[in-house]
Amino acid sequence: MTKVSVSTFKAPKGTYDLTPPDSAVYLAVREAIAAPVRRAGYGYIETPGFEQVELFSRGVGESTDIVTKEMYTLTTRGGDQLALRPEGTASVLRAALEANLHKGGNLPVKLWYSGSYYRYERPQAGRYRHFSQVGAEAIGAEDPALDAELIILAVDAYKSLGLRNFRLLLNSLGDKECRPAYRAALQDFLRGLDLDEDTRRRIDINPLRVLDDKRESVQQQLVGAPMLRDHLCEACKAYHEQVRELLTAAGVAFEDDPKLVRGLDYYTRTTFEFVHDGLGSQSAVGGGGRYDGLSEMIGGPALPSVGWALGVDRTVLALKAEGIELELPAPTQVFAVPLGEEARTKLFGLVTELRRAGVATDFAFGGKGLKNAMKSANRSGARYALVAGERDLADGVVQLKDLESGEQRPVAFDTVVSELLAAQG
């Protein structure tokens, strides 16, 4: 008995491979999320998969779980401390500053990106150590219309995929004027609770993160905690109300969530999260907010900014939860089957011609017989098969077979391309 050879290597724990046909769904989700932001004038940006550790410890926050527990770090041979990027915003802002995009005189700088991010987490459904996001950032302008624009673009992206059971949670985290007084009030409240040592340390470093603690034992004690919305200064109140009014005018439903703080330290004022009730405990599918002080934290000038990141993996899970199957174009429209060497040469040239004309075409490689080649044609999802043997070539034709109806007819060799283009409409 022949032993089947299997690779000894597997994808690392908490990661996944995207392979056809599933990968086509992920690609469609990425394109659907990107489409609205591209129409709104956002340009594409790509950043390295790793950055200096300090970029994230300064920007994301030294007290966050992302920095203290979840970052993949490494030391280069030259002694540099690097980290695989755990999120996109700090990298995008760093790249924009380095390229002096903010000096072009046309603020805000509007950018979108797509890529993989890495966090050392306990793997579970919807939470991986390697995950995919599409993000958008508007850098250099403080305008409630910009916050509303980004939220609306995300809503439109989800709706374009057919999603309905998602909710938008909205909050304001105030700014450097009003947050200090709230921080002090919250610290006083939290110090009176029965909390573990790690959580007590967080009270001193970033007390708002305690509100985000998902443990029931903590949440029960937070009843009656002071809420930031009751401590907002007049400017922050007015700003937040404008965001709410613009969203309402655009027909976007939202829920005010006074406990929403998200897991990154750089957020100010507008903070939002998209959740899907079909995903269980990992219900967040995306989110973002305003980060007016981040540029200064990483050594840049004052550049008020706002952005979001939407999880591709989580969005795919949300589609499955709603039973939505995206209508994806077949990767192959035409499949060519040659019978004999002369036909092989002739049809291969025709395949190239069809591809150059914009028709997705594949070929029966490996010298398969007619039966196996037609099986390959059917498996490819193609609508048509082109079959040619010696007699067909002598008559100057190729057999065009409709794989749906089974009908077959001869077509003049030099009109195949035009006929197939016409058949596609």
As to burial, measured by CB atoms within 10 angstroms (0-12 exposed, 13-18 middle, 19+ buried), residue 7 is exposed
Q: Which two tokens stand for residue 336?
A: 């060519």
CA distance readout (Å), 170 to 107, 148, 322: 25, 11, 23
CA distance readout (Å), 389 to 350, 370, 378, 423: 14, 10, 19, 23
Give pTM, 2 decimals.
0.88
The per-residue pLDDT for 263 is 60
| Alpha carbons 71 and 410: distance in angstroms, whole number | 62
Helix-helix angle 312-321:22-39, to 10 degrees = 110
What are 375-379's contacts with CB under 8 Å, separation 24+?
376/335, 377/335, 377/337, 377/403, 378/403
Supply the CATH classification number for the domain 334-424. 3.40.50.800
| Alpha carbons 298 and 320: distance in angstroms, whole number | 39
Sign of torsion, CA 16 19 25 28?
A: positive
CB distance 289 to 172 below 8 Å:
no
- Burial profile 94-117: b = 16 or more Cβ within 10 angstroms, e = fewer: bbbbeeebbeeeebbbbbbbbbeb
- Collapsing DSSP states into helix, strand and coil, what is residue 67? helix
The per-residue pLDDT for 63 is 58
Q: How many CA atoms lie within 13 A of 10 on its CB side?
A: 5
* Domain ranges for the chain: 22-178+232-321, 334-424
- Collapsing DSSP states into helix, strand and coil, what is residue 401? strand
The per-residue pLDDT for 329 is 84
Q: Tens-of-pLDDT digits for all 425 residues of the chain? A: 455 556 789 999 888 899 988 999 999 999 999 999 999 999 999 999 999 998 988 867 665 666 767 889 999 999 999 999 999 999 999 999 999 999 988 899 999 999 999 998 877 776 788 999 999 999 999 999 999 999 999 999 999 999 999 999 999 999 888 888 888 888 888 888 888 888 888 888 778 878 877 788 888 888 888 888 888 999 999 999 999 999 999 999 999 998 887 666 678 899 999 999 888 767 899 999 999 989 998 999 999 999 999 999 999 999 999 999 999 988 899 999 999 999 999 999 999 999 999 999 999 998 888 999 999 999 999 999 999 999 999 999 999 999 999 999 999 999 999 989 988 76
As to burial, measured by CB atoms within 10 angstroms (0-12 exposed, 13-18 middle, 19+ buried), residue 194 is exposed
Nearby residues of 354 by Cβ (< 8 Å), 6 or more positions away: 334, 361, 416, 417, 420
Longest dimension (CA), the chain: 93
For residue 169, give the nearest of 271, 265, 74 by alpha carbon: 271
The per-residue pLDDT for 310 is 97
| Alpha carbons 77 and 63: distance in angstroms, whole number | 28
CB distance 192 to 175 below 8 Å:
no
Q: 260's torsion region: left (phi>0), alpha (psi -120 to 50) or beta?
A: beta
Q: Which two tokens stand for residue 314?
A: 């989580």
Architecture per CATH, domain 22-178+232-321, reads as 2-Layer Sandwich (3.30)
For residue 402, give the nearest of 350, 310, 354, 333 by alpha carbon: 333
